[in-house]
Amino acid sequence: MTRQRIIVLGAGVSGLTTAVTMALAGCDVAIHAAEGPGQTTSALAAAIWHPFYQAPDFVYLEQARQTYATMARLSADTSSGVLMRTLTEYFRRDAGVPWWAECARDLRRLPETDVPSRFACAYRMAVPVADTVIYLRYLMNMFLELGGRFEQQRVDDPASLLDDADYVVNCCGYGSRQFGDNALSLSRAIVLRARRDAAVRGCFIDDSDPAAPTYIVERDDDIVLGGTADPELTSTVIGDRQIADIVRRCTQLCEGVAVLRVIEARTGFRPMRRVARVAVDARHSRLLHNYGHGGGGFTLSWGCANDVLHLAGLATAN
């Protein structure tokens, strides 16, 4: 039986999970990307499973649920770079249990005595967190071990590759704007890396302000502090005032942040779209799209990859 030939464009988390999923389904898969995984936007992410800013949505919920389940399984493999961490999320308005909480393990509401007065409530749960350097390399190695091929090259027109494959899957993120998607925009993120310290254990989030998401993500080798969401800003200059503001906001969530030593400040650019595009191209039925996840790339990655598999008429991989 002839295997389906698939070309995946992009080597970020969406491209890698899509390529692995299709290889697991028995396809002959090649990744074409201008940059390796370590140079993508995904490599700069805090990579915590969490539906930032997202309004209730059943499609999003199912994609997030599948991703949570897969990453939780991967956390059992010490080489994956995925760990289950305790997340405490603070809410300024009490709307009850978060709409996406059914995906998470060990959910509990904190007693009022443990919640700072400026917040209405807080919930604690276990969520997957990925060390991006290790995790992206792990996905690439898995892909190659499944017989996949990586070709470092820039693609100007995805449709031009249709003669060489049964399906082409565009996972180029903001790069898809050059393919004609004017619904895409950029949102600049500033994140800090700090040395690990026993004063901070677990992860903390307050995303009540869309322009200033505040999060603390404990990883094996560092602690990530964030952040910002600056629409259409492309400058990579980071001022001392911006660093101080991130540290101040994070310290309000966890007092231990005050003793952390910041070792790096980085900028990344999220590909924003009102709704992520996981769909068949309107002009070419064998061109599929999987991009525009904003800050939800890691949260949705495996669920969206399974959706792409269905779009190609293939069974969901295990």
Question: What are 152's two structure tokens?
Answer: 């470092």
- The verdict on residue 222 lying in a domain is no
CATH number assigned to the domain comprising residue 302? 3.40.50.720
Lowest mean pLDDT among 46-55, 151-160, 214-223: 46-55
- Say if residue 191 carries a ligand binding annotation: no
Averaged pLDDT for residues 203-207: 96
pLDDT at 60: 93
Q: What is the mean pLDDT of the chain?
A: 94
For residues 291 and 186, give the distance between their C-alpha atoms in angstroms, rounded to a whole number.
Answer: 13
Averaged pLDDT for residues 168-190: 92
pLDDT at 274: 87
- The verdict on residue 136 lying in a domain is yes
Select from 229, 192, 262 the least CA-distant residue to 46. Answer: 192
- How big is the chain, counted in residues? 318
- Say if residue 79 carries a ligand binding annotation: no
| Domain count for the chain | 1
* DSSP secondary structure code for residue 181 in this structure: -
- Say if residue 138 carries a ligand binding annotation: no
- The verdict on residue 121 lying in a domain is no
- Say if residue 296 carries a ligand binding annotation: yes
**Residue 301: which domain range?**
1-84+128-179+274-317
pLDDT > 90? residue 80: yes
- The verdict on residue 220 lying in a domain is no
- Say if residue 297 carries a ligand binding annotation: yes
Q: Which residues lie below 8 Å from residue 16, measured CB to CB, with a gap of 6+? A: 31, 37, 136, 139, 140, 143
pLDDT at 54: 76
- The verdict on residue 163 lying in a domain is yes
Prediction pTM value: 0.94
- The verdict on residue 299 lying in a domain is yes
- Say if residue 68 carries a ligand binding annotation: no
- Say if residue 90 carries a ligand binding annotation: no
- Say if residue 259 carries a ligand binding annotation: no
pLDDT per position as a tens digit, 258-293: 999 999 999 988 888 988 999 999 999 999 999 999
